[in-house]
């Protein structure tokens, strides 16, 4: 015979029982379906604890009914790392009795027996109550049995609200039921919220001042910090192979001074544990990391498990590579394309000992760079390595360093992306880069922010990357760049841009190739960030708005609002606890002005249907006075967005 109470549909959860994800010190809603046969009132609570160093103490939170047999509580894990939670439920016999006797009394029925039933229930609760609470319970029992008084007064003498609240939280052991433990991984905030900026350090070398790439890039950091970024992501910093090196524009015939792709890792100077000599020394690297931290940012380092033909592993560990019948090592291919400058690792050698040695060596790379202050790894192409490798290595690393963040660069099929997230990646690149229309964006955000994947998969939106210049950015003007920035930065808590975005670099490799013309992957770029018309102030403003408005720190608080015009997209982000209501309106058409009358769901925003609102545009500093749910908007493609702070008139607000 199993339990009588059913607890199911627990969230947060993942499809295969891996840990769901939360952020330390931030509210996480835990919910479940809780029911039993019949009509008795149930009570439910969640209890949770850290599983970090030994098992922590359980904390509990009473769950409240949401309707349709679903219950929810909000928990706030206080530590990093592994946690577990359970949903507990029991039949609340006292609440059931309270409901029954109240209805009967109202209907004028005799309740003598019910009063005694209540007294018996309270007596039963006596034994499990705290000693300090027993006197109040005994008083309630006495009131119920006070045959001199009226039924109403006997009952009201017992229904002391404080006593009832106390009893609500007292589990009844007679049918207390517990769900199996649910694992929960608690990250630091940066795993969920952050503005990222990608730069190639080698492009910032200043030979005339004797500065190597990393030293030059260190000088660039204050400007990045001034734009309001939280994370500086740098491509691989290791020696670059020379054989089959790619030249400018991915050509097969490099000039002697072409630097090669940073992802062709390994040369005579070393492999994944070495620094490219032209980037500088380890003290330059450590200085770069330290300066980033001083500026309130941190470095994300690329983690790309692949080798150039000169990588030391190729000769030291040929068993870690794929071999062909003629004894050669298999280079990377996507037939008919060939990538002779890259040897993929064979992450699943037939010999388990080889596999173990290789995986351990891969983990040592992470440990090494953690030793140099790295706390975030941007992982290149994780979907071409086994899921079980990632599960293992992330678990191993985070068990020792729960603050380490892994960011999956898997631009691949949806189920592989979700599985990487489920297996432990802290966040994922997404399809945002290719979602352009109102329908596409609405559907995609609904899926990733409001669907079950949001329990464990954290999107990080990038309008561009060194590999991808797509959609309206191809040949687009500043308006297009502003538009995609507002979309990325104001839809999800994590977003990033690759440097050059703020200069509206817009020339693709070709009509059919998404890479950049004269891509920085294959050559040094010398940019003039002070050029007039750059988007630097706009980027800084967006990041400043994100920091000042807590509504942007949550993923699941997005809601779309009606617009009649297919080029006008309108969404809100609300942090009810912080009373922060943000409404974004964008014109998706980079070429034409559009206008519309919106259809706002005002109650969802915390307002009455016919209330007057102040809509303060954080982008322009203008204030619109709106009454009702149907404000008129008009957006020019040059400044194609409103980022509106909605507030009651006279309340003031955060004006820059």
Binding residue (CB under 8 A) for its own copies from 53, 106, 150, 530: 106
Catalytic site residue from 172, 187, 409, 614 = 409
Interatomic CA distance for residues 644 and 641, integer angstroms: 9
Question: By CB under 8 A, is residue 396 in contact with its own copies?
Answer: no
Query: What number of other Cβ atoms are within 10 A of residue 29's Cβ?
Result: 15
331 binds its own copies (CB under 8 A): no
Q: Is 39 in the site for its own copies (CB under 8 A)?
A: yes
Stretch that binds its own copies, among 29-37, 234-242, 459-467, 648-656 (CB under 8 A): 29-37
**With binding defined as CB under 8 A, does residue 387 bind its own copies?**
yes
Among 76, 79, 117, 611, binds its own copies (CB under 8 A): 117
Examine residue 8 and tell whether it contacts its own copies (CB under 8 A): yes
Closest to 374 (Cα-Cα) out of 323, 438, 276, 303: 303
33 binds its own copies (CB under 8 A): yes
Interface residue with its own copies among 348, 431, 529, 560 (CB under 8 A) is 348
User: Does residue 127 bind its own copies (CB under 8 A)?
Assistant: no
Active site residue 208: no
List helix spans (H) across 350-472: 352-370, 387-400, 414-422, 438-450
- Does 554 sit behind a cis peptide bond, omega within 30 degrees of 0 on the bond before it? no
Binding region for its own copies (CB under 8 A) out of 34-42, 157-165, 224-232, 571-579: 34-42
Draw the binding track, 61-100, toward its own copies (x: CB under 8 A; -: no contact): -------xx-----------------------------xx
Task: Identify whether the C-beta of residue 494 lies closer than 8 Å to the C-beta of residue 426.
Answer: no
Q: Considering beta carbons, is residue 188 or 322 the nearer one to its own copies?
A: 322
Stretch that binds its own copies, among 214-222, 407-415, 450-458, 560-568 (CB under 8 A): 407-415
The DSSP letter of residue 467 is T
Smallest gap from residue 462 Cβ to its own copies (A):
22
Of the residues 54, 57, 113, 577, which one makes contact with its own copies according to CB under 8 A: 113
Q: How far is the CB of 265 from its own copies (least distance, A)?
A: 19
If one asks whether residue 482 binds its own copies (CB under 8 A), the answer comes out as no
Q: Least Å distance between CB 59 and its own copies?
A: 27
Whats the size of the chain, residue-wise? Answer: 656
Q: Measure Cα distances from 562 to 179, 395, 559, 609 in Å.
A: 40, 43, 10, 15
Instruction: In angstroms, give the least distance from the CB of 326 to its own copies.
Output: 6
Question: Does position 9 bind its own copies by CB under 8 A?
Answer: yes
Options 148-156, 255-263, 346-354, 513-521: segment touching its own copies (CB under 8 A): 346-354
**# residues contacting its own copies (CB under 8 A):** 52
Smaller CB distance to its own copies: residue 178 or 527? 178
Say which DSSP state 386 is in.
-
Among 25, 62, 109, 627, binds its own copies (CB under 8 A): 109
End-to-end CA distance of the chain: 64
Q: How far apart are CA 340 and CA 308, in angstroms?
A: 8
Q: Contact region for its own copies (CB under 8 A) — 311-319, 323-331, 365-373, 475-483? A: 323-331
Among 54, 207, 210, 336, binds its own copies (CB under 8 A): 336
Of 418-477, binders to its own copies (CB under 8 A) are 419
Piece of 33-41, 199-207, 461-469, 585-593 that binds its own copies (CB under 8 A): 33-41
Report DSSP state, residue 84. E
Q: Does position 36 bind its own copies by CB under 8 A? A: yes
Q: How far is the CB of 2 from its own copies (least distance, A)?
A: 5
Where does residue 175 fall: left (phi above 0), alpha (psi -120 to 50 degrees), or beta otherwise?
A: alpha
Instruction: Give the Å distances, CA to CA, from 416 to 22, 385, 419, 555.
Output: 21, 11, 5, 21
- Residue 51: count of CB within 10 angstroms of its CB: 18
**Strand arrangement, sheet containing 494-498:** 427-428, 405-409, 376-380, 298-303, 231-234, 194-198, 494-498, 460-461
- Phi, psi angles (nearest 5°) of residue 374: -80, 135
- In the complex, the smallest distance separating the C-beta of residue 31 from its own copies, rounded to whole angstroms, is 13
Residue 396 a catalytic site member: no
Count Cβ atoms within 10 A of the Cβ of residue 294 and give its class: 0-12 exposed, 13-18 middle, 19 or more buried.
exposed
651 contacts its own copies (rule: CB under 8 A): no
Of 172, 187, 380, 614, catalytic: 380
Task: Give the count of beta carbons closer than 10 Å to the beta carbon of residue 43.
Answer: 24
Q: Quick one: which of 57, 131, 415, 651 contacts its own copies (CB under 8 A)?
A: 415
- The reply on whether position 138 binds its own copies by CB under 8 A is no
299 contact partners, CB below 8 Å, separation of at least 6: 231, 232, 233, 234, 288, 289, 292, 373, 374, 375, 376
Please choose, from the candidates 177, 69, 156, 168, the residue with its C-alpha nearest in 3D space to the C-alpha of residue 125. 168
DSSP sequence for 265-330: B-BTTBSTTS--GGG--HHHHHHHHHHHHHTT-EEEEEE--EE-TTSHHHHH-GGGB-B-TTSPBP
Active-site residue list: 380, 409
- Binding residues for its own copies, rule: CB under 8 A, are 1-4, 6, 8-9, 15-16, 33, 35-39, 68-69, 99-100, 103-104, 106-107, 109, 113, 116-117, 120, 324-326, 333-336, 347-348, 352, 355, 383-388, 391-392, 413-416, 419
């Amino acid at each position: 015979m199993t339990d009588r109470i059913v607890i199911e549909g627990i969230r947060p959860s993942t499809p295969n029982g891996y840990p769901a994800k939360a952020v330390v010190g931030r509210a996480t809603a835990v919910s479940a379906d809780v029911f039993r046969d019949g009509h008795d009132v149930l009570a439910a609570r969640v209890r949770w604890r850290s599983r970090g160093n030994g098992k922590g103490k359980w904390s509990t939170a009473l769950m409240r009914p949401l309707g349709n047999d679903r219950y929810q509580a909000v928990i706030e894990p206080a530590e990093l790392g592994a946690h577990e939670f359970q949903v507990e439920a029991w039949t609340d016999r006292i609440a059931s009795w309270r409901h029954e006797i109240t209805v009967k009394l109202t209907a004028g029925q005799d309740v003598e027996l019910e009063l005694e039933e209540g007294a018996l229930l309270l007596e039963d609760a006596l034994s499990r109550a705290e000693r300090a609470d027993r006197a109040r319970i005994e008083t309630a029992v006495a009131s119920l049995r006070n045959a001199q008084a009226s039924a109403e007064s006997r009952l009201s003498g017992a229904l002391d609200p404080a006593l009832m609240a106390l009893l609500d939280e007292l589990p009844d052991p007679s049918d207390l039921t517990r769900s199996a433990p649910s694992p929960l991984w608690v990250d630091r905030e940066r795993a969920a919220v952050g503005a990222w900026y990608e730069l190639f350090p080698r492009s910032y070398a200043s030979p005339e001042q004797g500065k190597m790439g990393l030293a030059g890039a260190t000088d660039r950091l204050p400007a990045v910090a001034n734009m309001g970024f939280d994370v500086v992501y740098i491509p691989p910093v290791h020696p670059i192979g020379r054989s089959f090196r790619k030249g400018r524009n991915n050509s097969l015939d490099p000039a002697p001074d072409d630097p090669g792709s940073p992802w062709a890792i390994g040369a005579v100077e070393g492999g994944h544990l070495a620094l490219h000599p032209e980037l500088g020394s380890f003290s330059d690297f450590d200085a770069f990391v330290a300066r980033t931290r001083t500026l309130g940012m941190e470095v994300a380092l690329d983690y790309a498990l692949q080798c150039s033909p000169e990588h030391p592993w190729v000769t030291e560990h040929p068993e870690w590579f794929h071999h062909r019948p003629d004894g050669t090592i298999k280079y990377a291919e996507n037939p008919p394309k060939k990538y002779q400058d890259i040897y993929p690792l064979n992450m699943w050698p037939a010999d388990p000992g080889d596999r173990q040695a290789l995986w351990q060596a891969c983990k040592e790379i992470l440990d090494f760079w953690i030793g140099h202050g790295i706390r975030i790894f941007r992982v290149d192409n994780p979907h071409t390595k086994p899921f079980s490798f990632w599960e293992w290595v992330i678990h191993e690393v985070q068990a020792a360093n729960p603050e380490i963040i892994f960011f999956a660069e898997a631009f691949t099929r949806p189920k592989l992306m979700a599985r990487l997230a489920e297996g432990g990646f802290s966040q994922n690149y997404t399809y945002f880069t290719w979602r352009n229309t109102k329908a596409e964006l609405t559907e995609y955000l609904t899926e990733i922010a409001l669907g079950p994947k949001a329990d464990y998969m954290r999107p990080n939106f990038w309008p561009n990357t060194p590999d991808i210049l797509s959609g309206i950015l191809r040949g687009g003007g500043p308006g297009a760049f502003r538009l995609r920035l507002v979309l990325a930065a104001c839809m999800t808590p994590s977003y990033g841009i690759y440097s050059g975005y703020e200069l509206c670099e817009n020339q693709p490799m070709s009509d059919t190739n998404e890479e950049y013309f004269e891509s920085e992957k294959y050559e040094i770029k010398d940019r003039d960030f002070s050029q007039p018309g750059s988007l630097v102030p706009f980027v800084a403003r967006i990041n400043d708005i994100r920091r000042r408005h807590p509504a942007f720190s949550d993923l699941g608080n997005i809601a779309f609002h009606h617009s009649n015009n297919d080029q006008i997209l309108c969404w809100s982000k609300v942090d009810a606890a912080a009373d922060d209501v943000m409404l974004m309106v964008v014109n998706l058409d980079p070429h034409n002005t559009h206008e519309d009358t919106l259809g706002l769901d005002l109650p969802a925003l915390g307002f009455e249907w016919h209330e007057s609102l102040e809509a303060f545009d954080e982008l322009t500093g203008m204030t619109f006075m709106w009454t009702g749910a149907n404000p008129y908007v008009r957006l020019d493609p040059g400044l194609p967005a409103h980022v509106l702070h909605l507030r009651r008139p006279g309340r003031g607000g955060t004006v820059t």
